[in-house]
Amino acid sequence: MKNRIIIALFYLIGLTFLSLGISLMILADLGAGPWDAMYVGLSDVIGLSVGSWVFVVGIFLILLNGIIMKKIPDFPAIITIFIIGILIDFWLLLVFMELEPAGMILRACMLMGGIVIIAIGIACYLQSNFARNPMDSLMMAIQYRTGKSLAVSKTMMELTVFIIAFLLGGPIGIGTVLSTILIGPIIQFFYGPVTKLCGSLCDGLSREKDVVSVTK
């Protein structure tokens, strides 16, 4: 039970870091990831908050994935997109509401910091297999239907979203390129240590329980 709590904490911490990193990249205004740029573009053109669009698009993707895969939609994923959407609005509309970064150095630091924080968040979030992000499921669905590799499927998906974000006037820039190139390797860099930490905490609790049972 305690191990599940630890994994759940890594899941929540991961989503918190992920949303914080996304928010910092948006506020830096040097270009966000394709999906985040699309959310900002939708918010600017149609209305609603960025976090609301994370939820709306996420619901659409959950249903679309179910149709493509011809199976029951992964409704538990609603929990993940709901938490991410709420947290993004928390950072943008409450915590950083008055923040207007001035100067290229500060904005560049926010951009790079956001990329690293996103990677750490994903490394933490991946410790749990619960409620997979519907964007990841869409990549798998495209791969299943087209027979292409995951790399090709992800590229097809990201390119499509990039075009939509561009047409909506979303924040496309150097940050978009950097996040596309760097987030993967940075996730890989942090994934091992985070997994080791998570495993040691779980194993530590298991060993402590065994010691208690023996002493009794």
Residues 6 or more apart whose CB falls under 8 angstroms from that of 141 comprise 64, 65, 68, 69
pLDDT of residue 94: 93
Does residue 176 contact residue 34 with C-beta atoms inside 8 Å?
yes
pLDDT of residue 150: 64
Q: Three-state DSSP class for 171?
A: coil
Alpha-carbon span 67 to 73, nearest angstrom = 8
Does residue 135 contact residue 35 with C-beta atoms inside 8 Å?
yes
Mean pLDDT by 10 residues, the chain (216 residues): 85 94 94 93 94 95 90 89 95 89 90 93 85 80 80 81 92 90 86 90 56 33
What are the C-alpha distances in Å from 63 to residues 57, 130, 195, 196, 208?
10, 18, 31, 35, 44
Alpha-carbon span 65 to 137, nearest angstrom = 7
pLDDT of residue 207: 38
0.95 exceeded by the pTM? no
